[in-house]
Every structure is written in structure tokens, then in C-alpha cells.
Amino acid sequence: SKMKTGLIWFNGHIVPQEEAKVSVLTHALHYGTSVFEGIRAYETPKGPAVFRLKEHVERFFHSAKVMMFELPFTPEQVSEGILSVVRENSYKSCYIRPLAWMGATSLGVNPLPNNPAEVMVAAWEWGTYLGDEAVRKGARLITSSWARFPANVMPGKAKVGGNYVNSALARIEAHQAGADEALLLDKEGFVAEGSGENLFFFKGSTLYVLEHSVNLMGITRDSVITIARDLGYEVRECRATRDQLYMADEVFMVGTAAEVTPVSSLDHRAIGSGQAGEHTMRLRKAYLEAVQGHNPKYGPWLTYVNP
């Protein structure tokens, strides 16, 4: 059964899902030449609000720039498209997926004859990314045999469709191994990130966050650093090895979809007590209060769907 996403903003117009179609000769379908975003809208006391809309739309356009895609809409038009998809579907909270792709003008590997790109925004109701169990008890991670691609192989700072073959292979391997998520190392063997999340760990009351390196510059990572510092934690950027994570007191992953997900084990070694860490759950609570409009300090991060 196909997923139900309702009304879709398709090249500037709100259309029913069944009308939002592309040709099988679409360049992006053959070569992964698309860019996308993952954004969440949350229910707040003042109605649904999109979290850090500006930063997500900026990254969407940066990803397009990396790929030399011409987007035939302005950031303001895409922002309005995002808000209209939430509004027209009457979602209270949802996951929002903007996508821009190289169309069916030509199938030569060089995508540029397919400019300008086509653009759509879909949204659907998505619960906890790794499942409620993984949040309550902590996710079980395994280190993937697929390394995160080096910076001169794929543009990891851009959310390019083709980049997610790396994530998909790691995710398949983790799932087949009975784990909840994959941890990817970089080519030197240092820890990079999850297949769809950035990584933090606690040693005592100091919070460490992996430096950007070859990883996506996560917006949730940025939000959690701010929230942690506001809660009085010292936050340090670092490089880390997998055995350093084994020795950590707490490990957690963050992302728009994953929010703040505690990690209970890595490569069958319990992290700390083997339960969701207490600092981690405190940060998770503060993050959810921020996105749900319960903390006025983070009001600027919210864009209300129905002003």
C-alpha cells in the first residue's frame, strides 16, 4: 500500500497526491540527481509551527547550488509552499519533505540540460523515527561496514538524493543485524555520523559533539548545542573513535526525524548503564519543549502555519 501524504505543493501548485507524478525518464530517478530537506512542524499552544524553517530553506538552496540546479522559485516562495502544505492538509504536526530534482529533458549523465529543476513539497504524519522502544530504552547501534564517503567523493554538506545510497546500505546492514541504526565511520576510521543523524556523547557532565568533518551540518545539532549551553552544560566539539564511544557515559543521536534519540549500546557494548542516559533525556525533554512552543526563549525558531 502506498503512503498517504494528501495534498502536495507541485511546481508551485497544491495538487492531490495522485496528480503529483513524474516520468520514468526523470534524470533524478536514474542518477540520484535531486536535493531535499527534512523539516518538522509541531503542534503548539498557538497552532502548528514549522521548526527552524529559515535554516532548512537556506540549506535546501545551498544543496541546489552545490549541484548547480536552478530552482525556479525564490526561498520565500518555497517557504510559503512549505507552510501551505501543512495548512492545506490541516496537519497539527507532520514531517515535511521538500524535493528538487532534474527532470526528463535529457538522460545524459550531465544533469544541467535538465535545468531548471522541478520542485515539490510533501508532508505526512511521522511519529518517532526509530520507534518508541528505541527512545524509551535507547537505540542499539552497530558500526557499519560502509564508511561515510570522503568529502572529495560526495558532497556530504548537501542533502543530495544520491548521498543516501550510502545511508541506505548502512541502514539495510543495521536492520539485517537486528540493530536500530547504523553508525558510520569516516575513511580514517573516526566516527562520522548515523545514517540520518548527528552524534553527541557525555563523559561526566561534559557534552561532546562530533565536529562537522564530512558530516551534514545538522540543524538539530545546532539547536541541541544551544539548548545544552542554556542548561549550563559545557559543550566541546571533537573527533572521536568508536572505542572512545564505548567508554562514554551517554551517547545520543539528533536529527529532524530522530529528534533526540538516546543510544543504549554500540557494537553490543552497553553505553554507560545500558539505559537512556539521564542528561540525554533531560536534553530530549528540553528540545521537545522548544519545538512544541513551551519555551519562549526559542520562539524565534518557530514559524506559525496560521499566523
Ligand X SMILES: Cc1[nH+]cc(COP(=O)(O)O)c(CN[C@@H](CCC(=O)O)C(=O)O)c1O
Interface residue list for ligand X (CB under 6 A): 38, 167, 193, 196-198, 215-216, 218-221, 255-258
- Report, in Å, the least distance between residue 72 CB and ligand X: 24
159 is a catalytic site residue: yes
C-beta of 71 vs 224, nearer to ligand X: 224
| Shortest spacing between CB 24 and ligand X, in angstroms | 23
SS3 string of the chain? CCCCCCEEEECCEEEEHHHCCCCCCCHHHHHCCEEECCEEEECCCCCCEEECHHHHHHHHHHHHHHCCCCCCCCHHHHHHHHHHHHHHCCCCCEEEEEEEECCCCCCCCCCHHHCCCEEEEEEECCCCCCCHHHHHHCEEEEECCCCCCCCCCCCCCCCEHHHHHHHHHHHHHHHHCCCCEEEEECCCCEEEEECCCEEEEEECCEEEEECCCCCCCCHHHHHHHHHHHHCCCEEEEECCEHHHHHCCCEEEEEECCCEEEEEEEECCEECCCCCCCHHHHHHHHHHHHHHCCCCHHHHHHEEECCC
Shortest Cβ contact with ligand X: which residue?
A: 38
CB of 198 to ligand X, least distance (A): 5
Choose, from 159, 187, 203, 285, the residue flagged as catalytic. Answer: 159
Q: Among residues 116 and 150, whose Cβ is nearest to ligand X?
A: 150
- Shortest gap between Cβ of 240 and ligand X (angstroms)? 16
Residues that are catalytic? 159
